[in-house]
Structure 1
Amino acid sequence: MAVARPVRALALAVFVVCCFFLYTIWRPAPGTGSSADFHGTIERDPNLDLTGEPEGNLVRATEGYAPGIGGTSRINATILALVRNEELAGMLQSMQDLERTWNSKFNYPWTFFNDVPFTEEFKRRTRAATKAETRYEVIPNEHWDVPSWINDDLYKESVKILEENEIQYADKISYHKMCRWNSGLFYKHPALENMQFYWRVEPKVHFFCDIDYDVFRYMQDHNKTYGFTITLYDAPKSIPTLWPETNKFVAQHPEYLHENRAEPWLTERERRPIHWDEANGYSTCHFWSNFEIADMNFWRGQAYEDYFNHLDRAGGFFYERWGDAPVHSIALGLFEDKSKIHWFRDIGYQHIPFFNCPNSPKCKGCVTGRFTDGEAWLNKEDCRPNWFKYVGMG
């Protein structure tokens, strides 16, 4: 029996709508399938393999880690947070996670920084979230204010260009100030004068894995300069002159280049050629510095001090949107021994939407293999395969 024409038309319309609906769900993110934007497949995530603690001697929380003066085993290190008063709820969430998984065993102090004084409520509630000492510091104006050599009219015109290129936070002067401070000024604060190591923690991050050894002692005892969990590609239109300025600096100071540097990780073009082109020779791979455990002696060294001053005078923290993540990463990749940079594969960490999630019974609540088994656009942003290729997993 023949099907009436209106019914056939309706069936066809339903079929088309269903096909379109499925396409919108399963289609790749813009650019993901473009061979011009992204080459190659994502290699197997090592976090899918069973993850254990780092090799070598690890210092456990036995004696000497009591709060206060009883903590004789602690070294000169602190947990560090740049945070606003209005971010209290997010900061408490981050503190609760890190205290539960690690710091309740070791009681390292928390040092909070703000460009304005902290409220009494902020102090009261953060003190209640830890047994460790808490310190509250105001950033000096000379470290936070826009430097005198930045031209205000040029800054405003530059913001317009950044906004046309859809660069996030381009119009927020506080964000530019924050990037500059995190890049080259935080470790000059008097409160950190006697500190060597820090663990940077931001509001609204998650820690999933029980860590049973002193990570600061691990850094010290194994001669590590920098520890990371995630490495990503940056937005190239936020940093178009960062690599050219770096090349200018290196031409003036070739003596600062380390013979065992990770430069191929910084200059690899194959996986994201458009990024490389728009960043003028820089892959845009960087350590996602909202998590970093580092030795401030590297930042205090002559190579980094000269490098930061060169970049600061170039003005890109304001005329573009240079972040502390690419600045730190480029400096580490060029001026440090790559064997001193450590991937903390055993620390489960999330800063939405990105994860480092080890396959370990010590980790609860995160999704193992997030990058390899997750959304295609997340896979594309993961630069760890390049790090493993050119440096390794140490």
Structure 2
Amino acid sequence: MALPKSMRYLAGATFCIFIYLFVQILRAPASESEIKVPSKTPESGYNSKDRDPQLDPSGEPPGPLRRVEGDNYAPNDPASARINATILSLVRNEEADDMVQSMRDLERTWNHKFNYPWTFFNDKPFTEEFKEKTRAATKAEVRYELVPAEHWDIPSWINMDLYNESVSLLLEQKVQYVERQSYHQMCRWNSGMFSEHPALKDMQYYWRVEPNVHFFCDVDYDVFAWMQDHNKTYGFNINLFDSPQSVATLWPETKKFVEDNPSYVHPNNAQEWLEDGKRRPENHQIAHGYSTCHFWSNFEIGDLSFWRSKTYREYFTHLDRAGGFFYERWGDAPVHSVALGLFEDKTKIHWFRDIGYQHIPFFNCPNNPKCSGCVAGKFSDGAKWLEREDCRPLWFKYVGMD
């Protein structure tokens, strides 16, 4: 007995749906783990794996990458492919051996290929011994520069009685290095004076390297050229919380400056990163609204144009006049970080995940076969509480990883 026409139509439609679903199943991934889900959505931010540096697959940044081809980066070649950039360090004569340690690591992993010049700064003249040791550590040009007294000396508007009283109070709060006058001077110089040194007038980019740091990974592309080609302003490696007591009034003074200059704040800023204190280590407080998250500036690769801009020069002058470099212990790391977080497009700030690095007691150790000498994923050297100082998860949450 023949089926009614309506039943035949229904059977045909059912069969077609079955075939369609069968084909979709064959085309779909075999398991959920094979599905590539975007790591960032406007609603959720980065997922937990992306926020964990130990689980992040570390590799080179997106291209194009400029590499050595023949002798295009040969030392002392004025027609080389090098751009206007230098490796720089503020260093004392007695730190010569520690400086050579850092030079050997960076030369071995990167600069022996590209031969960018080294520029050393000191508030005292460099000794012949320092020059001899550092010149022997590189084939590149080495420059030795004196910091002008007007860039280094304590400004005339600082009340020394108030300074001494403030130091005593901060010592009671166990703020590190606060008793060292030269430390305050160093922080101020690195915050706003270094970019004004005449020796850097023709330079656009710099890589700051300090004595007694370590580099672990072979990097075979021109890092400075990558910054230029991708319009990046700043590159960091480690991102930490700071001591709230050392920057107690930095955020209030910043807010005063912003209230007077609202147009200076970039519309695509990282203010949420600067204000989110939820991940603060136990028993630490935020500093009057500032999370204290900052780029650890003993490693920084930057565009000097930002520090020379009208916005930053006015901001630094405002902070300098407020006196916090001496009455508190404002470091160049939080000052640079707050400025970048408010006044720059956050997409122009890059995490160099592929550059293995250590400045005691913290590490950036990529999971990368080009790295040796450190444990992949290791962040700190010692006590467990140091692990809680990592502020990178908040950066990934609000900005991501490019």
Picking from 248, 251, 259, the partner of 1:251 is 259
Q: TM-score, normalised by structure 1?
A: 0.87
**What is the match of residue 270 of structure 2?**
262
CA distance in 2 between counterparts of 1:361 and 1:336 reads: 34
Change (3 A) 1:267 1:44: closer
Partner in structure 2 of residue 57 of structure 1: 64
Q: Which residue is equivalent to 1:283?
A: 291
Structure-1 separation of matches of 2:228 and 2:54: 25
Whole-angstrom CA distance in 2 between matches of 1:204 and 1:112: 15
Would you say the 8 A contact 1:236–1:275 is kept in 2? no
TM-aligned CA deviation for residue 379 of structure 1: 1.6
Residue by residue over 1:99-145, the C-alpha shift from the partner in whole angstroms, topping out at 9 and shown as x without a partner, is 00000000000000000000001001100100000000000000000
Matched, 1:389 2:397: yes
**1:293 counterpart SS class:** strand
Which residue pairs with 2:352 in the alignment?
Answer: 344
1:222 matched residue in structure 2:
230
Q: 1:52 to 1:164 in 2, by over 3 A?
A: same
Distance 2:263 2:306 in 1: 16
Aligned match for 1:335, one of 329, 343, 347: 343
1:95 aligns with 2:103: yes
**Partner AA of 2:85 in structure 1:** A
Provide Cα deviations, 1:79-111, integer angstroms capped at 9, x if missing partner. Answer: 000000000110000000000000000000000
Aligned positions, number = 354
Partner in structure 1 of residue 94 of structure 2: 86
| Alignment correspondent of 1:178 | 186
Check whether the contact 1:48–1:368 (CA below 8 A) recurs between aligned residues: no
Per the alignment, in what secondary structure is the counterpart of residue 363 of structure 2? strand
Task: Please provide the CA RMSD for this pair.
Answer: 1.7
**Structure 2 counterpart SS, 1:147:** coil
Which consecutive segments of 4 or more residues in structure 1 shift more than 6 A?
273-276
The one-letter code matched in structure 2 to 1:392 is: G
Contact (CA 8 Å) 1:45, 1:371: kept in 2 or not?
A: no
Shift of 1:44: 5.5
* 2:149 match: 141
- Identity of aligned pairs, percent? 70
CA distance in 2, matches of 1:71, 1:297: 24
Q: Which amino acid aligns with 1:321?
A: R
Q: What secondary structure sits across from 1:325 in the alignment?
A: helix
TM-score, normalised to structure 2, is 0.85
Note the C-alpha offset of 1:388: 0.5
Q: Does the aligned pair in 2 maintain the 1:83–1:114 contact within 8 Å?
A: yes
| 1:270 CA drift (Å) | 1.4
1:20-169 matches, within 5 Å, as: 45-62=52-69, 63-70=71-78, 72-169=80-177
Contact 1:207 1:347 in 2 (8 A): yes
Structure 1 residue 45, shift from structure 2 partner: 2.5
Q: CA deviation at 1:49?
A: 3.8
Bigger Rg, which one: 2
Equivalents in 2 of 1:201, 1:322: separation in Å?
20
